[in-house]
Copies of this chain bind each other. A is one copy, B any other.
């Protein structure tokens, strides 16, 4: 399966006309060369109920260094530690940095599981290439990650909704202020135990459709998981929060196409203008949308298991299309989809001074289909339902 995904990653790179640096003498590091230095002072594990997303980190991290001259070194598992970074590093000046987010779960048989991790490896390679950071063989990073997870297994909370959030990151460590391809880089993985995004179960949110600030436009970098896509979203997000909205729903282009939520992709289940029942989300082909793993999984599940109930579309639609459909009572459900929140019901959208109410099933605290999808995906992630998407980490 993985070699297929590798070739998909390569073809994705080709589409974007980026150089493929997956093979060659120093084209990757190797998991078999992994060196392990264990911590002498393990930290106490936190009370998992009190976890705040992304604030607690496990005892160890993975690091691999690269230079243009010497290629990749050996991966190392080392105690979690601060990095020594030059103040001239282009990771701190020109946002030469990209990352991934995935999770490790413990199933009822006490096995460690990952959810479609090869998708994250593919996307990370694509992000690195876009920034002119070194690429590598995703299989080697995944194998190295698995060894880290086995060592850190005690840090994976064992309850539905809980998991160990995995943050692979690649930064330039080049020390020149010239704006150019980095000649040195560091790839690292840190691990953070996390609880359910909303402790009370589903927490339907209201989104603020921003008609002023734009996350990404055609020709930009919105389709890559790179730092520069995030920094600029915080101020608009704060402004939306100050008005009582959980997140920004990003629009783009003169026609104000609906794109995504920044931390989640966005889906609508509606009766479209043609009268068809349709699950719709923004398409990837104009490069403005992050190709989310949960997004892809929802599309695949809907196409495989719900094709008789709905049409499944990746296509452009505008905020005017959406608000008109809400006004006409044609919208059944809206939800966000991402690794952190998995599936997040949406109960309202604010646009141009007006609130639009999206239906929610009072008992489920979510739309029926939203709730169904969330459970289907969690069942796979926690190994309750057999699926090739769930990968057991061999210990």
Question: Using a CB–CB distance below 8 Å, which chain A residues touch chain B?
Answer: 17-18, 52-55, 57, 61, 80-88, 91-97, 99, 129-132, 165, 167, 169, 171, 175-181, 188, 190, 192, 212-214, 217-221, 226-235, 237-239, 252, 254, 262-263
Q: Which residues of B contact A188 (CB under 8 A)?
A: 87
Given the known A-B contacts A214-B220, A232-B226, are A95 and B93 also in contact in the complex, defined by CB atoms under 8 Å? no
Q: Which residues of B contact A167 (CB under 8 A)?
A: 88, 93, 177
Measured in the bound complex, the distance between the Cα atoms of B176 and A178 in whole Å is: 29
Q: Is the CB of B228 within 8 A of A218?
A: no
Q: Is the CB of B53 within 8 A of A233?
A: no
Q: Is the CB of B87 within 8 A of A80?
A: yes
Q: Is the CB of A237 within 8 A of B179?
A: yes
Q: Which residues of B contact A175 (CB under 8 A)?
A: 55
Measured in the bound complex, the distance between the Cα atoms of B31 and A348 in whole Å is: 49
Measured in the bound complex, the distance between the Cα atoms of B17 and A263 in whole Å is: 24
Q: Which residues of B contact A229 (CB under 8 A)?
A: 95, 228
Q: Is the CB of B92 within 8 A of A82?
A: no
Measured in the bound complex, the distance between the Cα atoms of B16 and A235 in whole Å is: 11
Chosen A-B contacts, 6 in total, with CB atoms closer than 8 Å, are: A81-B87, A82-B84, A83-B85, A95-B230, A180-B237, A181-B238
Measured in the bound complex, the distance between the Cα atoms of B167 and A327 in whole Å is: 52
Q: Is the CB of B57 within 8 A of A169?
A: no
Q: Which residues of B contact A181 (CB under 8 A)?
A: 234, 238
Q: Which residues of B contact A234 (CB under 8 A)?
A: 94, 96, 131-132, 179-181
Q: Is the CB of A94 within 8 A of B192?
A: no
Q: Which residues of B contact A192 (CB under 8 A)?
A: 88, 177
Q: Which residues of B contact A99 (CB under 8 A)?
A: 93
